[in-house]
Homo-oligomer: A and B are copies of this chain.
């Protein structure tokens, strides 16, 4: 079973788009943060503060990032620069892990 060990978890969920996207924040010993989240089928636009690495754990999605269109499947990831916008379309439920690159 793939786990994150010895982390702190913020109890309160992060809820976006009326619950169609939700996540939990994990804080690691070194102070770095990740979120583990779920996106229901739909299209969502996100704005980043820090750069992010979005790892798709289950499901697949299409990502519009600048002029690029990425097709990302479970086991794959994509990078989003800091202070940028990306649009993501999920044809099915997507389970993801977002790592914030400070």
Contact = CB atoms under 8 A, between A and B. Distances in A.
A40 to B, nearest CB: 5
B12 A2 contact: yes
A99 B36 CA distance: 19
A11 B6 CA distance: 13
Given A24-B24, A27-B3, A38 B10 contact: no
A30 interface: no
Contacts of A1: 10, 12
Interface stretch (A15-23, A45-53, A62-70, A77-85): A15-23
Given A24-B36, A27-B3, A38-B22, A57 B13 contact: yes
A101 interface: no
A95 B3 contact: no
Interface of A: 1-13, 15, 18-20, 22, 24, 26-27, 36, 38, 40-41, 57-58, 93, 95, 97
6 contacts: A6-B8, A7-B7, A13-B57, A15-B58, A15-B93, A19-B38
